[in-house]
Structure 1
Amino acid sequence: MNHILCGLAANPALPAALVDRLITVADDEIATELAARKDLGRAQALALAARDEGTAVRLAYEGRLTSADIDPVAQPQAALALLDTGAGLPEWARRFATDPVTERREKLAACPDLPPDVTDTLAADSEIAVVAELALWTTPDMAARLARHPHAEVRRAVAANEATPPAVLEMLLTGDGLPPARHCLVCDRERTPAPHARPHPHPADDLPPGAFCTGSHESTVHDMWRQALRNPATPARAAAGFAGHSSSLLRWSLVGRSDLPPEVWGRLADDPLPGIRGDLAENPAVDAAHLRALATDVSPDVRRSLAHNPRVPLDLLASLAGTAKIGATLLPRIAAATPAEVESLAKSPDPAVRMLLAARRDLPPGTRDALAADTDAKVLKSIAPHPGLSEARLRDMIDRHGVRVLARVATNPDASPSLLEHVTRHDPPVPKAFREVARHRNAPAPALLACLTDRQARPIAAAHPSLPVPVVVELLGDAEGRVAEAAAANPSLPLAMMLKLTR
């Protein structure tokens, strides 16, 4: 890998003529960087696409290529990428529907808005993987048709398709109205009805772990149920009956639904698995009574999940703050707090509650400044990145709590150059603070030079436009490849050096 040329390819100040020069010598890594340039011209995109099909695929997905730019015979993957974005031609779809390469037909089957004759061809494909991929993404009518397919793997894919009609999804759960499946992936590899071991005895093949069949395609049917239970189009009445199923995976598939009756929430809230109860606790559709029950759960993970529920009652959240180890993260319920609730939270006697409020970045100036004067370090760590804080308040935080708040102060978007330099001179030093300073837009040269002494901050600082030009040039020869690459990507790199590096 040529770190210098990769860095140059990403340099936003690189002139168009030098972009052209890099295109002519680009390997995969350089082409990837060039393809990501926002200033890449159409002619340059075409030149890149002609050099490497992987890059052509990326450019197709980014909308930089059209059907007129791609030859589906020479670059089939790029043509399929355009079909996947809806920009391909119908005749391409017809060509790929009978392509001898299975992977191409499978990719085509996932593309939207295919002509009806193409979907008919794919639905009759001899490879089950192609038909299953079609079933996963196809229209309601075709999904209903494929639900009757004799292969259980196709039905599993139909169950995951959110376009599948609700009545069909219910049939997949109950089996009513559908003929039994005759095959599964296990049956395709071994004779039936001879029983197959559980788990499947051939872990080296492409079957999923635990695949087994005794003639009823058990593991595939189980996964089909799981997909249907997670599908929001499945009727609630059909899904609710699985709340007491012996399979924990099936019960787990219910907890994210928004349409189950309260008695089902209650049953899941008493589930023996903390993971199920925890995921249920995050579901905003669960009623307040069951949320309050979950607040007393013996598992701290469940209580922590409950704190992330956007509809958790605020008084309940306040009671969780000190025991659930939530951390300084902006919780949905805190983000949605009304002005009156914000004022109440700011006056809470519990510093854990004040810390949660301090994670907001849109607090009224008075509330923001009051929290910035808090005596508790965890509150200060939470409020330190808030825009609008004065330099005096930020310096006061450092003076009072030192290393505990230093890195967070360095993330404040309004931190001045002098403050950032002050952070890098702190004794004892804080490595994370160097990294934050190195990526800060206001970082001055002295602070960036200090950041170069930290191994992890060094490549970040090398790319900063405020780093002195002689230092940037010197770092091009750094023994650490990622540092040299970052220096080459620095927009302050002189044009003369760019020209020299591309010769």
Structure 2
Amino acid sequence: MNPVLCGLAANPSLPPELLDRLIVIADTELSGELAARTDLTPAQVITLAARGEEIAVQLAYAGLLTADAIDLATQPYAALALLDEGTGRQEWTRLLAAHPTTRCREKLAACPDLPRDVVQTLAADEDIQVVAELALWTGPDTASKLARHPHAEVRRAVAANESTPPDVLEMLIAGAGLTPPRRCLVCDVEETPFVHEPFCPRPHCDLPAGAACDGSHQSTVHEIQRMALLNPATPVDAVVHFADHPSMLLRSALAARPDLPASVSARLAEDPLPGVRADLAENPAIDDTLIRTLATDRGHDVQRGLAHNPNVPLEVLADLAHATKIGPTLVPRIAAASPEETAQLAASPDPAVRMLVAQRRDLPAALRDTLAADPDAKVAKSIAPHPGLSDTHLRAMVDRHKVQVIAKVAANPDASPALLEELTRHQPPVRRVFREVARHPHATATALLTCLTDQRARPLAAAHPNLPPTVITELLTDADDHVAEAAAANASLPAAVMAKLVP
């Protein structure tokens, strides 16, 4: 694809007459770029939709292509997109249910509000993937019927469907009350017993790593259980015994359930694998006693998971901030902290705790400014992008902490044009500053010209509307296609130049 024409296709300032010309000459790829525009006329939409099925689907999902403009015979996937969005015609569903292409029927099976007779047709489809897709999205009545399907893959999909009735999910997870499945995806294509290699060398093999069948369809049965464990509609009484299951994946799925009884949580807290304990630590269902127990657990990611638990007490979170690297993220308990709690955290003698609260972007001005003057670079780095900070505060941060905070200061939405220019001239240079400035709405032409000297910032700067038009024009012939495309998409590219680019 021509990168310049591709950029023009996305340029918001492209004059209407040039847009028409571009549509006339556009190939399928360029038509896809044009289909993403928000200023297309109905006539332009129809023209683009005729260029290819993918483009018609894109336009349908964007709400630009209506049912009246779709020819079901030539654009079945566009029709399916409208059905998926709830704006298609019901009469289409019966025709699509008999479509010769399996993928069409499979996508239809995922659409909402299908007529009863269409659901019955899809449930009896000869391709098991169509039936499985229906099982994943259908309502409770059909899900209950498909739970008894002889193919294990269909049952796996029923187990993942949150509309499946609880008693049916209980049967699936226990295997009781159901005849055993007769087939699975493994024995459909391989002679059993068979275990799939983790790194299969066969180029057209679709079996997942570890798929296995010895006649009992064991890997798919395992997936049925895992899907049911993850399904919130599955009764908790039906899953608690999985706390002692030999499969780590099943114990982890159980550990993440928000309805865990305290006794089961306590057993999982003693699990030999830290991954299970980490999933449990993040679970808001665990009680205060268990939280404090897990706070001393040095297993991989256990303390980090606990830090992201929305119910972790603040004093425990403070200990965790000191004990483990939580990272530059706003954890749920900090986001929910009251004004009084927030002030208390900001006054902590531990910079790791102050850093946590500095991740908030809704702090009172006085508290924000206090944290901006923090002597610890990690705290200043966390607060630097907070809206409302004055240039005085931002400059003081840079003077105090220099390269440790400069990129975050450049990301502040209220950084002034003059400050951004200064940051691009900082010695030693900080490469990430150029990328932050290149995407900043306040960046000046002078700052952007400096950003063009950095390879990773160059495409960002080429797209910035504050770049001088003459420079934008020069960048159209840049050796880097990404830069040339960004320049062509720049809203400040002169219309006369655009006209010369469109054949």
Is the TM value for this pair above 0.5?
Answer: yes
2:40 equivalent in structure 1: 40
Aligned counterparts of 1:16 and 1:288: Cα–Cα separation in 2: 63
Aligned-pair CA distance for 1:377: 0.6
What are the within-5 Å matches in structure 2 for residues 297-308 of structure 1?
A: 297-308=297-308
1:429 equivalent in structure 2: 429
What are the within-5 Å matches in structure 2 for residues 274-285 of structure 1?
A: 274-285=274-285
Aligned-pair CA distance for 1:214: 2.2
Letter in 2 for 1:209: A
Change (3 A) 1:286 1:231: same
Aligned-pair CA distance for 1:293: 1.1
Aligned-pair CA distance for 1:212: 2.1
Contact 1:21 1:502 in 2 (8 A): yes
Q: Secondary structure at the match of 1:353?
A: helix
Question: Which TM-score applies when normalising by structure 1?
Answer: 0.97
2:262 equivalent in structure 1: 262
Aligned counterparts of 1:341 and 1:468: Cα–Cα separation in 2: 48
2:195 equivalent in structure 1: 198
1:68 equivalent in structure 2: 68
Aligned-pair CA distance for 1:215: 2.0
2:419 equivalent in structure 1: 419
Q: CA-to-partner distance for each residue in 1:200-232, whole Å, 9 max, x for gaps?
A: 699433222222222222111111111111101
Q: Which runs of 5+ in 1 are unaligned?
A: none
Aligned counterparts of 1:438 and 1:347: Cα–Cα separation in 2: 35
| Larger CA deviation: 135-144 vs 174-183 | 174-183
Change (3 A) 1:454 1:334: same
The answer as to 2:309 corresponding to 1:312 is no
2:189 equivalent in structure 1: 189
Aligned counterparts of 1:490 and 1:415: Cα–Cα separation in 2: 23
Contact 1:196 1:213 in 2 (8 A): yes
Letter in 2 for 1:120: Q
Q: Secondary structure at the match of 2:254?
A: coil
1:403 equivalent in structure 2: 403
| Larger CA deviation: 63-72 vs 198-207 | 198-207
What are the within-5 Å matches in structure 2 for residues 247-396 of structure 1?
A: 247-396=247-396
Aligned-pair CA distance for 1:186: 2.6
Contact 1:13 1:491 in 2 (8 A): yes
Aligned counterparts of 2:214 and 2:461: Cα–Cα separation in 1: 61
1:474 equivalent in structure 2: 474
Give the root-mean-square deviation of aligned CA atoms. Answer: 1.5
Contact 2:410 2:423 in 1 (8 A): yes
Aligned counterparts of 2:199 and 2:215: Cα–Cα separation in 1: 17
1:100 equivalent in structure 2: 100
Contact 2:196 2:207 in 1 (8 A): no
1:26 equivalent in structure 2: 26
| Larger CA deviation: 488-497 vs 270-279 | 270-279
Aligned-pair CA distance for 1:29: 3.4
Aligned counterparts of 2:310 and 2:243: Cα–Cα separation in 1: 24
Contact 1:200 1:212 in 2 (8 A): no
Aligned counterparts of 2:26 and 2:257: Cα–Cα separation in 1: 49
Contact 2:28 2:51 in 1 (8 A): no
Change (3 A) 1:202 1:93: farther
Aligned counterparts of 1:155 and 1:206: Cα–Cα separation in 2: 19
Aligned-pair CA distance for 1:172: 0.6
Q: Secondary structure at the match of 2:185?
A: coil
Q: Secondary structure at the match of 2:162?
A: coil
Aligned counterparts of 2:32 and 2:306: Cα–Cα separation in 1: 42
The answer as to 2:130 corresponding to 1:130 is yes
Q: CA-to-partner distance for each residue in 1:63-109, whole Å, 9 max, x for gaps?
A: 11111111111111111211221222222111111112111111111
2:149 equivalent in structure 1: 149
Aligned counterparts of 1:450 and 1:249: Cα–Cα separation in 2: 51
Aligned counterparts of 1:94 and 1:447: Cα–Cα separation in 2: 60
Q: Secondary structure at the match of 2:195?
A: coil
Aligned counterparts of 1:454 and 1:198: Cα–Cα separation in 2: 50
Q: CA-to-partner distance for each residue in 1:400-443, whole Å, 9 max, x for gaps?
A: 11111110000111100000001011011000001100100000
Contact 1:300 1:324 in 2 (8 A): no
Change (3 A) 1:317 1:160: same
Q: Secondary structure at the match of 1:149?
A: coil
Q: CA-to-partner distance for each residue in 1:171-190, whole Å, 9 max, x for gaps?
A: 11122222222222233235
Aligned counterparts of 2:471 and 2:101: Cα–Cα separation in 1: 53
Change (3 A) 1:69 1:384: same
Letter in 2 for 1:95: L
2:173 equivalent in structure 1: 173
Aligned-pair CA distance for 1:328: 2.3
Aligned counterparts of 1:27 and 1:106: Cα–Cα separation in 2: 29
Contact 2:275 2:300 in 1 (8 A): no
Aligned-pair CA distance for 1:245: 0.4
Q: Which runs of 5+ in 2 are unaligned?
A: none
Aligned counterparts of 2:166 and 2:472: Cα–Cα separation in 1: 61
Aligned-pair CA distance for 1:325: 0.7
Letter in 2 for 1:445: A
Aligned counterparts of 1:27 and 1:102: Cα–Cα separation in 2: 28
Q: CA-to-partner distance for each residue in 1:300-342, whole Å, 9 max, x for gaps?
A: 5211111111111111000111221112221111111111101
Aligned counterparts of 1:168 and 1:260: Cα–Cα separation in 2: 20
Aligned counterparts of 2:484 and 2:257: Cα–Cα separation in 1: 50
Aligned counterparts of 2:186 and 2:299: Cα–Cα separation in 1: 39
Change (3 A) 1:149 1:300: closer
Aligned counterparts of 1:276 and 1:106: Cα–Cα separation in 2: 35
